[in-house]
Structure 1
Amino acid sequence: MKSFDVAVIGSGPGGYVAAIRCAQLGMKTAIIEKYATKGGTCLNVGCIPSKALLDSSHHYEDSVKHFKEHGIEISGDIKVNLEKMIARKQDVVDQTTKGIDFLMDKNKIESFQGVGSFKDKTHINITNSEGETETIEAKHSIIATGSKPRSLPGIEIDKERIITSTEALSLKEIPKHLILIGGGVIGLELGQVYGRLGAEVTVIEYMDRIIPTMDSAMSKEMKKVLRKAGVKFALSHEVQSVERNGDEITIKAKDSKKDKEVEFKGDYCLVSVGRKPYTDGLNAENAGVKLNDRGQVEVNDKLQTATDNIYAIGDVITGAMLAHKAEEEGTFVAETIAGQKPHINYNLIPNVVYTWPEIASVGKTEEQLKEDGVEYKSGEFPMRALGRSRASGDVDGLVKILADKKTDEVLGVHMIGARTADLIAEAVTAMEFRASAEDIARMSHAHPTYAEAVKEAALAATEDRAIHI
């Protein structure tokens, strides 16, 4: 029987980062993955493939709608080759997952393919696709089994016409009318992909706004942008049923504002109502690991389970289901096992929606500050006031900075616009060092850049001193 200092169950961003950090700290490490490729949901059917399709569809939309205004003329019809677009996406995924294999070899981490399940607190059974089982011993284990798409009661996902994000990444045709159940991150990103390629897109959302967990200013601006692109919205609608008849999908929903039933028809329905923890086959109870009523693994502030030598990270525990949150937790647990004293500030884990314009935020929203009774001040700056935005044609969006009314410490930064997924790192850095709005306002920002909007929003929050509006 092979013995290890640490065994990681799951090779997504949390799992493989935890394994690498454990190996760097001198621990003999094993990683167990159910599927043939490593990388988990993020690399295989999540973050990476969706961004590949977002970029491809963005290029297509630019060529059809915006090239002429840049003085670029293309003769002949511009056509979408969806098969090639999907193949390119898969090539990006393959390259990325192979990179994980390289990192495992480089760090001398032993890989096992199969379902990892606890025999007891120090022994893990690994069962491969042929049904053969191997048992390894581990002083410590890290559960990093991630999540799966969630559905709603009464909806049968057939993976053909009624689909999840996994199937939406590999469609054989462009939908005529794609209906999204859920106006969160996954729905908006994939809806924009197919909307750009010619699909009619309708978003059905239970709440009264899209991306409801983000600052309301972001929801309002994104809705305006998507409406301009032809996306239809049915907000405050509760889905009652989803039925398929051949190639037609019929969705019935209750409009809670008008108290009446509404019917929608399309040829594809993407159910994007969030994700749920995945622990199937883990046999957590054999190791004394406890799950809560939401199926999440219960952990303490050290991410330790009820069994002190077993930890859990990422989507399988409480908190935002974000790849970079899982990575931070993977590093945190590895360093904790090694006797170090790491920390994670969950308030400073950024959140990003990779639509175009991109949406990014960190810290508290205005709604949260109001609910907590915190006195704050707000500064905003529109992207269209930037020379860089006008030069590129990306004028939609704004940056909003919330600061403590008395101390001027930055409490939250929310932005929508070109490259805000990258810009948000400036806000995270500033808030990690507890910067004030004036600190950001006094920093020199290169001109012309999108980042100038951050400086201007900080100036706006500092005695309304924005220069360019």
Structure 2
Amino acid sequence: MADTSFDLIVIGSGPGGYTTAIRASQLGMKTAIIEREHLGGICLNWGCIPTKALLRSAEIYSNIKHAEAFGFTVEGKVTIDTKKVVERSRKVAAQLSGGVKHLMKKNKVTVFDGHGVLNGAGKVKVTKDDKPVADLTAKHIILATGARARSLPGLEPDGKLVWTYKEAMVPSTLPKSLLVIGSGAIGIEFASFYRQLGSDVTVVEVMDRVLPVEDEEISGLAKKAFEKQGMKIHLGTTVTALKKGIDTVTAVLKDKAGKESEITVERVILAVGIVGNVENIGLETTKVKVEKTHVVTDEYSRTAEPGIYAIGDLTGPPWLAHKAGHEGVICVEKIAGEKDVHPLNISNIPGCTYCTPQVASVGLTEAAAKAKGHEVRIGRYPFLANGKAIALGEPEGLVKTVFDKKTGELLGAHMIGAEVTELIQGFGIAKTLETTEAELMHAIFPHPTLSEMMHESVLDAYGKALNF
């Protein structure tokens, strides 16, 4: 008979859950993980990873269309095989899901295939298709059940005409026209993917700018870039109704002034945030508190119920895979009594949006820094002044840095342009090390690279830019 008693049980195997289980096992804990669908969770199977595969296909298609500028002639019409684009994305996800299975075995983590529900103090009941699988016990239980797409009254997805991210990732054909409701990272990535492949894309955002969590200057540059690509963007606008036809949807839009208009498209993508998966996991049998569909935790992921913890998208923002993993590691290290365990500093978590152009940031925006009372120095460096960017044929973009004028502390960094999702970690490390402007100025950046723009942006904040 399989073991049913563990030191730690993790419910959910997303990037937070499986990473947590591995670290717990490394620390000598007898660990189990419960997953009801696919190892790797939403991020690996239906989120972060497969969307990047789709976006890579769109990027290649876009580059082919501009091949002549690089000295190549492409004879004949370049056609898109939607089925193969989707198949490649699914294969990438499947490969990595298999990798997680290997990691569980390698780290001696027991995997239970089923749905885990809290069943009293230190107990978890596992079922599969309503049939019992196991009754498990553990002193510590970590909830990592993640989140799902938010739905709005009257705008509910039906999987056919109105999509969530899941349907948007596996289209049988490319829609000729598309409405994306919401311009956060998920909405803009899909808008970018479909626009690059030729769909007529309209984006509706209730806030006054796209990518509203980003620095206002970066958001403005992103909007200009998207509109240059042919996207239609409606800001300060809500969708009040969706009228479904046989194979089209007519959306009723209302702007700030209350003026209504209509747009008819083949498909709609709903990307208006997430809600935590707090239902049907037994929370009602505990003291765990839930606010706005997310579990309330302290700085070490502890809930109001002793022995029960929660991490990742199930808890508060930012809702990012890498945040979930770090939360889980901190949580189990605290449980294990490791020394020098520190709470997660949210201001050091980079955020990335893989649209074209890419957007990435870490720390405070210029407005947020000023609102917190900082007197700031701002550095800017355009891609147009960087040799590598020009050589790549990617001369549009900006690197922006925000410093405290008195102390030289790096408060934030914000980027838009080619490969900034890879560059941002340099500033992430700088913030973690509490690096000042002097140290960043003394750092030697290789030439010719895009990373030189990071250096020049720091120099610019202090009036010392050398190449602009």
Q: Any idea what SS the aligned residue of 1:79 has?
A: coil
C-alpha separation in 2, matches of 1:246 and 1:220: 37
Q: Any idea what SS the aligned residue of 1:449 has?
A: coil
C-alpha separation in 1, matches of 2:91 and 2:248: 32
Please tell me the root mean square deviation across aligned C-alpha atoms, in Å.
Answer: 1.1
1:4 maps to which residue? 6
Q: Is 1:326 aligned with 2:324?
A: yes
Q: Which runs of 5+ in 1 are unaligned?
A: none
Written as runs of structure 1 = structure 2, the 5 A alignment for 1:223-238 is: 223-238=223-238
2:299 aligned residue (298, 301, 304):
301
Amino acid at match of 1:278: N
Amino acid at match of 2:24: C
Q: Any idea what SS the aligned residue of 2:33 has?
A: strand
2:184 maps to which residue? 184
1:427 maps to which residue? 427
2:47 maps to which residue? 46
Return the TM-score normalized by structure 1: 0.97
Q: Any idea what SS the aligned residue of 2:242 has?
A: strand
Written as runs of structure 1 = structure 2, the 5 A alignment for 1:49-64 is: 49-64=50-65
Q: Please list the CA deviations of residues 140-187 of structure 1 after superposition, one character each: whole Å capped at 9, or x if unmatched.
A: 000000000002122121011101111100010111111000011111
**How big is the shift at 1:410?**
0.8
**How big is the shift at 1:265?**
1.0
CA contact (8 A) 2:288 2:303 kept: yes
1:197 maps to which residue? 197
**How big is the shift at 1:133?**
4.0
Q: Please list the CA deviations of residues 256-296 of structure 1 after superposition, one character each: whole Å capped at 9, or x if unmatched.
A: 0x33112111000000001111122101121332222x121
C-alpha separation in 2, matches of 1:264 and 1:316: 35
1:355 maps to which residue? 355
**How big is the shift at 1:407?**
1.2
Q: Please list the CA deviations of residues 56-98 of structure 1 after superposition, one character each: whole Å capped at 9, or x if unmatched.
A: 111011101x211111112121110000010000000000000
2:273 maps to which residue? 274
C-alpha separation in 2, matches of 1:121 and 1:130: 22
CA contact (8 A) 1:438 1:458 kept: no
C-alpha separation in 2, matches of 1:319 and 1:88: 31
Amino acid at match of 2:35: E
C-alpha separation in 1, matches of 2:316 and 2:412: 22
Amino acid at match of 1:29: T
Question: Which deviates the most, 121-130 or 182-191?
Answer: 121-130
C-alpha separation in 2, matches of 1:85 and 1:171: 10
Amino acid at match of 1:386: N
How many residue pairs get aligned? The number is 464
Q: Any idea what SS the aligned residue of 1:377 has?
A: strand
Amino acid at match of 2:49: I
1:106 maps to which residue? 106
Written as runs of structure 1 = structure 2, the 5 A alignment for 1:363-374 is: 363-374=363-374
1:88 maps to which residue? 88
Written as runs of structure 1 = structure 2, the 5 A alignment for 1:62-141 is: 62-64=63-65, 66-129=66-129, 131-141=131-141
Amino acid at match of 1:122: G
CA contact (8 A) 1:82 1:172 kept: yes
C-alpha separation in 1, matches of 2:258 and 2:117: 48
C-alpha separation in 1, matches of 2:184 and 2:198: 21
1:219 maps to which residue? 219
Q: Please list the CA deviations of residues 371-415 of structure 1 after superposition, one character each: whole Å capped at 9, or x if unmatched.
A: 222111101000111000000001111000000011111111001
Question: Which deviates the most, 169-178 or 153-162?
Answer: 153-162
Amino acid at match of 2:361: S
**How big is the shift at 1:367?**
1.3
1:467 maps to which residue? 466
CA contact (8 A) 2:300 2:327 kept: no
Q: Which runs of 5+ in 2 are unaligned?
A: none
Q: Please list the CA deviations of residues 190-245 of structure 1 after superposition, one character each: whole Å capped at 9, or x if unmatched.
A: 11111111100000000110000110111111111111110010111011111211
**How big is the shift at 1:322?**
0.1
Identity of aligned residues (%): 39
Return the TM-score normalized by structure 2: 0.97
**How big is the shift at 1:458?**
0.3
**How big is the shift at 1:370?**
2.2
C-alpha separation in 2, matches of 1:281 and 1:259: 40
C-alpha separation in 2, matches of 1:357 and 1:233: 16
C-alpha separation in 1, matches of 2:89 and 2:245: 31
2:20 maps to which residue? 18
Moved over 3 A (4+): none
**How big is the shift at 1:437?**
2.0
Q: Any idea what SS the aligned residue of 1:141 has?
A: strand
CA contact (8 A) 2:4 2:134 kept: no
Q: Is 1:28 aligned with 2:25?
A: no
